Amino acid sequence: MFRTVHSVVNVIFHHNTLLSHRRCLTNLTSAKLVQDTTSASKDNNEWLWDYLRHRQTFQSLNDEQKRQVITLEMQTLREGGERIPDHIPEEYWSELISSPLLNNRRSLYNHLFVREVTKRKRAAERATVQERRSQATIRHAELAAAGLPLTNYPGYKSMFRQLAGGHTERSIRDNKLIVQARLGEQVLIDCGFEVEHARAKYIAKLVDQIEFFFANIHEYHSPSFITLCNFAIDGQIQQEFARRHVQRRSVACFETTEASYSDLVDRQKLIYLSPHSPYEMSEYDHDAVYIIGAVVDTSVGGRPLTLAKAKRDNIKHQRLPLERYLKFGGNASRTLSLDKVYNILMALKHGKSWAEAFEAIPDRQVVERFIRPRLGRKESDQWGKWTGIRTETV
């Protein structure tokens, strides 16, 4: 009996020993395999190790290596919580590859991310519209079977429900602008800065701001007509308008011309609005024609392009008195979009004060608003006590 137990124990012991040897051999083989794979991978990606150790610049890599770096960069930034698109369109790869700075690529990543989100939102809206149309088809069939007039409105017996629609609003807006165009009351948008907007996203922002002109037209009884001058027929802005027209989401209630503003209006009546002008605008001149430069400030780095152009063409230039009626936050941008400037001009044209006109500027940029103008330090010392104007200095 003891011999049997002893033999069983020996078998179990030898079996466990064999298992341990097998595990050890497997571990050694796996480690050797991983080491060989790592060394081979390191040899194949030696350029990547040099790049990560800052021994090699982005510009020194070839296009395929740049693609790998960008893919790895996107994955790292996405894991860090930044806004990175899921897919890079093929037409944007050339711009990414030619951008040596990470901040430039981050800016383009953000633009593509917003583009993807917008596309998803539009796809969801199209699906909702399709669902609503299918329900309307079913409802029309039920109304036809009941012998009732076909309509999309529940109160089909009332004619007033059918008068409130987008087509009617557009018709009223167009009639207002056409009347002002016949009277010669217009605001000129100088589109001669396309060269400064090298990237497509700035052109899209610019076109968005031009289309936002018409968002609050119904608030004014005589809004000024809008003319885009120095407009390149085959330029980037025209291509963006054409793209939106195909998608049926463009606004076409304005005029475009290749002519310069000096060819359209008498030079003595022109006033170029520039934030860098040393001359402050005191009141709205109903006899003047104001020019707004079609510039997205983030794309030009705050350079005084509009002021330089006004001086070069020998045209009067002015700036809005923002600092007299508004106190901006420390990190707030003092840059106004084109539609904000247009709304301010229209408010002044219709008899509103500066404080009321500056209500078009959102509260996120402003810390405090003033009903009366604030004077500068020298102005406050000389005239503040006698005029009764608030003596706070800028």
What is the Cα–Cα distance from 211 to 220, expressed in whole angstroms?
Answer: 17
Three-state DSSP class for 136?
A: helix
What digits encode the pLDDT tens for the residues 178-197?
A: 777 777 788 999 988 876 65
294: nearest Cα among 186, 184, 188: 188
Q: Which two tokens stand for residue 289?
A: 């024609």
Q: What is the pLDDT of residue 281?
A: 92
Residue 375 is classified by DSSP as B
Q: Taking 70 as the threshold, does the pLDDT of residue 286 lie above it?
A: yes
Question: What domains, with CATH codes, occur in the chain?
Answer: 45-149 (no CATH), 167-369 (3.40.1280.30)
Q: What is the largest CA-CA distance in the chain?
A: 124
Cβ-in-10-Å burial (0-12, 13-18, 19+) of 156 comes to middle
Q: What is the pLDDT of residue 18?
A: 40
Q: What is the pLDDT of residue 393?
A: 46
The number of beta carbons lying within 10 Å of the beta carbon of residue 327 is: 15
Residue 98 is classified by DSSP as T
Q: What is the pLDDT of residue 21?
A: 40
What is the Cα–Cα distance from 304 to 273, expressed in whole angstroms?
Answer: 11
What is the Cα–Cα distance from 20 to 32, expressed in whole angstroms?
Answer: 18
Residue 55 is classified by DSSP as S
What digits encode the pLDDT tens for the residues 68-110?
A: 888 888 888 888 888 899 988 888 888 888 888 888 888 889 8
Strongest mean pLDDT among 146-160, 245-259, 362-376: 362-376
> From the centroid of its chain, how far is CA 1?
89
What is the Cα–Cα distance from 364 to 332, expressed in whole angstroms?
Answer: 8
- pTM here is 0.58
What is the Cα–Cα distance from 250 to 252, expressed in whole angstroms?
Answer: 6
Across all residues in the chain, what is the average pLDDT?
Answer: 76
Question: Is there a contact between 237 and 206 (Cβ–Cβ < 8 Å)?
Answer: yes
